[in-house]
Amino acid sequence: MKHIAKVLTLSAISLALGACSTGLDKSRNLGNPAVSGNTLAQQVCSICHGEVGSNVNGNSVNPTFPNLAGQQKDYLVAEMTEFHEHTRKDPAAQDMMWGIARNFTPKQIEELATYYSKQPTRANPNPVNPALAAEGAKIFNEGNLDKGVPACMGCHGSNAEGNGPIPRLAGQHQDYLYKQLMAFNSDEMVEEKENNNAKDDDLERPHGVAMEGIAHGLDDHQKHAVAAYLQTLK
Amino acid sequence: MGGLALAGSMNANAIPIYARQTGQACVTCHLGGMYPQLTSYGRLFKLTGYTMGTRPNLTDLEVQKDAPPISVWLQAGRGFTNKNNAASQPGDTQNIQAISLFSGGKITDNIGGFLQWTGGNTGGGYNFTVDNSEIRYADRNLNNGNDLIYGVYVNNHPTVSDVWNNTANWNVILMGFYNANAAAQTPQPFLDQYGPGQSEGIGAYLYKDTTWYAEAGVYKSFTHGIATTDLTAGSGSVFIDPSPYYRLAYSKDIGAHSFEVGMHGMISYAHNGSWGTTVNTYRDTALDAQYQYNLDPHYIGAHARFLHESSSFAGDQVGTTAANGSNYLNEAWLDVSYVYQAKYGGTLTYRNITGSNDLTLNALNTTTGSPNWQAWIPEIFWTPWQNLRLGFQYTVYTQMAGATSVIPGQTLKPSDFNTSAFYVSFIY
């Protein structure tokens, strides 16, 4: 009888202790390399890049945070690596992603990129100005040749689905896209000052060199227009 | 009393401990950097027990460099009241100084804390005491589209647990009311009067789909142990029997907009003066709402709170603690803030108190004992970098003790108490 009581007590203690530690599968520890990318995606990344009550993670609610669902895996790996190495320096990247990614391991980055590239995409629910989007469609499909801007679809695909290191833009938030175009634009200004020899440290998005001249070739209104159009794509 | 009001206004806000733990900037968790206002992300950080991020390398698991889990907050300023009347309140100027130390953050994957100590001159001399403090255990289950955050906490006064900045403890105005003299006698709902360390509580909460929130806690004053500051209400110390606190909320984010409506309240069973006295009961019930817009460069935050208190006093306390056997108090609180580029901002706050007349509780007006008070508090501030905030706040009293001109029994009118305050807030 005493023995049974002992077993019951020990079981109760183990249960209580077990309940107090969730283990790695629900961890929010950004400093432990043993936490899997999938766990981080759910416990941490989903707070900004996810939507509550949906089975799909990677479609964000607030346009501050880009949609990641269905993004090109190579591009995701490249960006997370840049956040980790502090080479991508647009303000939101510095404020939010440098910290998140500072201890990411290559394995976690690989797992996170795989996870998000496989999440199903969804139409962006936020409204855009249809007239503005129509202007943007023209730029996306035909470019702005007067200023040397080629058609966006040439690299990003006819439906902006992206390809490897070239990101998917379809359904991305207009505000996010506009801010990134502004980052490329500002890098182009730095390049002009430094005779197209700017150091990576001086650029917000040094791996986006291909976008610098393009962003600079679009005026402010055109940047908004092409961003609006991209948000409407599914 | 003035010192208490001053100390009460120095509540905790942004802590770089968390910035070190997550590696993120203040704007991630605080709307436009306007601590203490929390963003949706900041709310989840708190509700998941401050456990996101890294922690000092205690177990060799972590790969990051150690950062000491300590930070410091300095506040300094100078206030000027409208009228200099040496013979009576208010005084014309006052200095504002406070220093806080913080610790806490992630302890395990499920346990984290918020620990604050604050020092300042509270009128009776310099002291350094425990301020807002809590330890949480939290977990989050995510599967098949279900999302449930649940947790328990131990903390040192009601509303420390609030994440919508809609309680007196986490109001958006950083420096509070700096009128440490007669104006500090603004009648306050009992729930607003709890100070850190004057009661201890435990509570539990659920947050379903980051939409539905429910929380219940219970608080009690210590009966034994090291002497702490007593909770005071009116003129003397108050001791609390186990008293329930609750909070319910519905929240929803749509695009860059974030909405919340909810209610919270507490029933406080209070012994006035000592544990041996009969119990007075304060029932506080508040409806509250929050709106936020969070998309750089524009940040907007707005709050509305309507609190009703009904208090009843034991028969033998009538005539000493209160003139009436029962009273009521209504508080309306409205604020709206805007910040551009997380740097240049302003806040407008409106506070209105109405209630039943009681010559014992509200002694400023010697004719009616009216608790009716009304104030507007415009503020502008500049955050040149995220650790430093400079601000100017003006408090306009349009009604005081039920009077809009000279207060019966006094020589001053409400506008004589209008106060300007410059302040500097630095946190590292």
Report pLDDT digits (tens) over A164-188: 999 999 999 999 999 999 999 999 9
Count of H helices and E strands in chain A?
Answer: 12, 0
More confident: A104 or B416: A104
Residue A17 included in any domain: no
pLDDT given for residue B234 in this prediction: 43
pLDDT > 70: what percent of chain A? 89
Q: How many domains does chain A have?
A: 2
Instruction: State pLDDT tens for residues A12-44.
Output: 544 454 445 567 889 999 988 999 999 999 999
pLDDT given for residue B235 in this prediction: 43
d(Cα B348, Cα B171) in Å, to the nearest integer? Answer: 12
Q: Give the CATH number of the domain where residue A176 resides.
A: 1.10.760.10
Residue A3 included in any domain: no
Contacts of B144 in chain A (CB under 8 A): 55
Residue A11 included in any domain: no
Query: What is the residue range of A138's domain?
Result: 130-232
The B-side interface with A (CB below 8 A) comprises 19, 22-25, 27-28, 40-41, 44, 48, 51-55, 57, 61-64, 106, 108-110, 137, 139-142, 144-145, 147, 209-211, 253-256, 294-296
Kindly provide the b/e burial profile for residues A153-176, where b requires at least 16 CB atoms within 10 angstroms of the residue's own CB: beebbeebbbeeebbbbbbbbbbb
For residue B326, CA distances in Å to B322, B353, B361 come to 8, 17, 11
Considering only the beta carbons, identify the residue of A34, A47, A126 that sits closest to B255. A126
Contacts of A94 in chain B (CB under 8 A): 25
A182 and A142: one domain? yes
As a whole number, the mean pLDDT across chain A is 90
d(Cα B83, Cα A206) in Å, to the nearest integer? Answer: 59
pLDDT given for residue A132 in this prediction: 98
Domain termination site, one of A53, A88, A117? A117
Asked if the Cβ–Cβ distance from A92 to B141 is below 8 Å, we say no
Instruction: State pLDDT tens for residues B343-375.
Output: 999 999 999 999 999 999 988 888 999 999 999
Residue A198 included in any domain: yes
A222 and A159: one domain? yes
Per-residue pLDDT of chain B (428 residues; tens, 9 = 90+): 223 333 333 333 345 888 888 889 999 999 999 989 999 999 999 999 999 998 765 555 444 455 667 888 888 887 777 775 544 455 556 677 788 888 888 888 999 999 998 887 655 566 777 889 999 999 999 877 789 999 999 999 899 999 999 998 898 876 655 444 445 567 889 998 887 777 899 999 999 999 999 999 999 988 765 545 555 544 457 889 999 999 999 999 999 999 999 999 999 999 988 888 899 999 999 999 999 999 999 999 999 999 999 999 999 989 888 999 999 999 999 999 999 999 999 999 999 999 999 999 988 888 999 999 999 999 999 999 888 999 998 889 899 999 999 989 888 888 888 888 888 999 88
d(Cα B301, Cα B249) in Å, to the nearest integer? Answer: 17
Tokens of residue B231, six digits: 């909770």
A72 and A94: one domain? yes
Residue A14 included in any domain: no
A109 and A161: one domain? no
d(Cα B399, Cα B374) in Å, to the nearest integer? Answer: 5
Contacts of A63 in chain B (CB under 8 A): 255-256, 295
A72 and A141: one domain? no
Tokens of residue B133, six digits: 């403090």
Considering only the beta carbons, identify the residue of A46, A100, A103 that sits closest to B63. A103
A137 and A109: one domain? no
d(Cα B196, Cα B230) in Å, to the nearest integer? Answer: 10
pLDDT given for residue B186 in this prediction: 77
Domain termination site, one of A85, A117, A149? A117
Q: Please, are residues B49 and B111 in contact by the beta-carbon 8 Å criterion?
A: yes
Domains annotated on chain B, with CATH: 2-427 (2.40.160.10)
